Chain A
């Protein structure tokens, strides 16, 4: 599978799978809104890449993929760390931000 699509898919699918329990762990509406905003952004990144061609040989794109792959590892244990929702949101935000850069790069190619 194309590395870029794979990276964005991993981010989005991980968030999708854990969305409801993560929202349930949020102490207030403001925190829920933060989680939802990141989920929507990750989902948009994914669909942007589905709708556009991937040029995996682009060096800048490859560098971004390496970054998001590293960040995705922090999301794999999301379900185990819902007690520290602030850290969870920070990890999610980092990954989604890189994903937005990938999606923007893909669209520009």
Chain B
């Protein structure tokens, strides 16, 4: 049984690296085509996982800037978020490597040429040794590369079902790992929006924002540009702008939380597909989980 847990900073034993890679390919497919499809689906899912972590890192970068802005507003000393960012960046890197590994596994399963499979296997091992968490542990690295070789061998023999049955627990472990940390991810998003909202309202109250946006829809048809100098109008706009801040806060928070849930649902869906295939059934779904679209949509709003 191939079960590794990657040791993260919290001490949880979650080494998913090689097993996750293995899971896609193996997914109990009867045909080479099914194996490649499953591997590609997992590559897409873990690619989105990587994108999610990248967006979360951007949120932390924005949070750091917002703390710096708060220092200007009310002299609150800013914290240092570098440790937190480092942890998220590590998860992003791992997810990226999982995606690369699974795509390579897809190549192996769809390859009929022995040399292609050997080349892909070599590439896999190169990816594995580049993962820092493994590079620091020679024993784990040896075990993992041996496991990869075993899986590659099984795939080359087209014994996907046997290989897949060793993988399903790992995919389940990835799902549990993500779910165990999802509350932290949501909290990071909520913190940024709360901080930004506080700063924004302080600036509105201090007449430090451009209040002309409300008037553009009235002036644009006539090619006119607003020029708000009246203190009365600026003060009168504060209630409107505060409401705008509150409603935008709510919608952006909901979008972030929906993205986290959608990613959890995607990982759960992949785990379910793998389990179906290990029971010697046909993988009938050709596309990655549709819930990935919700995640990518949120990612695009953060990273644009």
Contacts and interface: CB of A to CB of B under 8 A. Distances in A.
Given A17-B197, A19-B74, A20-B198, A9 B187 contact: yes
B303 interface: no
B74 A51 contact: no
B12 A47 contact: no
A50 B187 contact: yes
Interface stretch (A35-43, A60-68, A76-84): A35-43
Nearest to B80: A47
A97 interface: no
B214 interface: no
Interface residues of B, number: 28
Interface stretch (B45-53, B124-132, B188-196): B188-196
A13 B192 CA distance: 10
Contact of A20 (B11, B186, B190, B201): B201
B76 A13 contact: no
A36 B81 CA distance: 19
B70 to A, nearest CB: 8
A47 B84 CA distance: 8
Interface in B76-92: 76-77, 79, 81, 83-84, 87
A103 interface: no
Interface string A25-67: 0000000000010011001101100111100000000000000
A29 to B, nearest CB: 10
Nearest to B197: A17
A51 B202 contact: no
Query: What is the predominant secondary structure among interface residues of chain B facing chain A?
Result: helix
Contacts of A17: 194, 197-198
B195 A16 contact: yes
Contacts of B87: 51
Contacts of B74: 19-20, 23, 36
Given A40-B76, A47-B79, A19 B84 contact: no
A13 B194 contact: yes
B184 A36 contact: no
Given A13-B194, A20-B198, A50 B76 contact: no
Interface in B91-123: none
Contacts of A44: 79
Contacts of A40: 76-77
Contacts of B194: 13, 16-17
B75 interface: yes
B248 interface: no
Nearest to B11: A53
Contacts of B183: 1-2, 5
A63 to B, nearest CB: 21
18 contacts: A13-B190, A16-B198, A17-B194, A17-B197, A19-B74, A20-B198, A20-B202, A20-B205, A23-B74, A36-B75, A36-B76, A43-B79, A50-B184, A50-B187, A50-B188, A51-B84, A52-B10, A53-B12
Interface of B: 9-12, 73-77, 79, 81, 83-84, 87, 183-184, 186-188, 190-191, 194-195, 197-198, 201-202, 205
